[in-house]
Amino acid sequence: MTLDLATRKAAQPHFHTLLLESPFHERLAALDKTNDWYGWAGHKAPHALDDEELEYFAIRSTAAVFDISPMTKYRITGPGAVAFLDRLTVRNVAKLGINRVHYTAWCDDHGHVLDDGTLFRLGESEFRLCCQERHLPWLLDSAEGFAVDIREETGEVAGLALQGPTSYAILKEAGFAGVEALKPFQIGGFAHEGCTVTISRTGFTGDLGYELFVPRALALSLWDRLFEAGKFLGIRAIGYTALNRARIEAGFIVANADFMTAETALRGNRLRLPDEIGLDWMIDLEKPNFNGRRAIMAARAGKTLKHILVGMEIDGNVPPEHALVYHNKRREVGIVTAAIWSPLAKRNIAIASLERPYGERIQDGLWVEIYALRELQYQKLMKRARIVPRPFVTLARRSANPPGLF
């Protein structure tokens, strides 16, 4: 018996599951000129909507809007929420004030990083945890014995990142009175369509910027409010390519790009402790026990840390994305995880994962091997690499109080 196409599709639905559309997809699709979409956490998201160069310069010159709705979001509430999150994450949650945000990470029992993300304290016992991967089974297992309720709210909450020098001016023009009082990593609630939009002074660009969260039903009205206010202030919707350039300049890392998360890695030598990806500064060893604490302390005491994540400046102007790193042009010692020619810094910059002691005690004699495609032929380039501090770009407006109108 021969099955028609519709019957075959119905019999194999997992092959034909469509990507979800974000609450802002209608507005994004109307602006799209490239049809350059990718899958982000099961959602359809744009690499670029128009010219990716103009989208990058919107971040640095005016204001850029990036849809962060696909970002995984968990609501964690209950009298045991602080104790649970202190047990789960490496930072001291008790020190996080109400209406504040901090960047954090969490590990498995071996000290390997499961993910990094932002933790929003919305009330005494109410939190929102935002991250790259989905972790509900892990969170629920870790909550055993704690008086806490955990649920995923990714699909219920729409989110926008508004980033760039005119971002505050747009919020002011949009009528969000009092938003100028928000300091970096502070949260406020503002009226919108008879409901509340949560605005935090946070972002992933290293620039002046904010993140806005509303119930899904109010997504399009929030978008329209911002774009009406920003029509003379250079507002532009952007895709991930432009955002990625800005985050590299800011020295920020991305899960499963600059490091493999513990649940995603297939090979044991791909796992990383916080100290091996530059997150050692956030670990609070004075607070009660947390997942991975013993393993992290043992690695530090025994000096068994194997890797280090570093910033690099590379000779020339060809970005060495995913290039191998060598010592004295002979010994392979690591790989570049992210790289761009920085329009703002006017430097060829990169983030690289190296095998210790390279990048730690041994910092000289590093080279990257680049294969540049030129007129249908690859040309091998060996370029000198120097270890430099991150961030590669520091902008005073990011932390200015009050923010400027620019």
Please name the amino acid found at residue 334.
G
Residue 23 near residue 219, CB atoms below 8 Å: yes
Residue 254 near residue 132, CB atoms below 8 Å: yes
Cα dihedral 358→359→365→369 (10° resolution): 90
**Residue 111 DSSP SS3:** coil
- CA–CA separation, 1 vs 5, rounded Å? 13
Establish whether 211 is an annotated binding residue: yes
Instruction: List the beta bridge partners of residue 370.
Output: 381
Q: Which residues of 158-169 are buried (b: 16+ CB within 10 A; e: fewer)?
A: bbbbbbbbbbbb
DSSP 91: S
Nearest to 28 by CA among 237, 335, 311: 237
Q: How many CB atoms sit inside 10 A of residue 295's CB?
A: 17
Give the annotated binding-site residues for substrate.
211
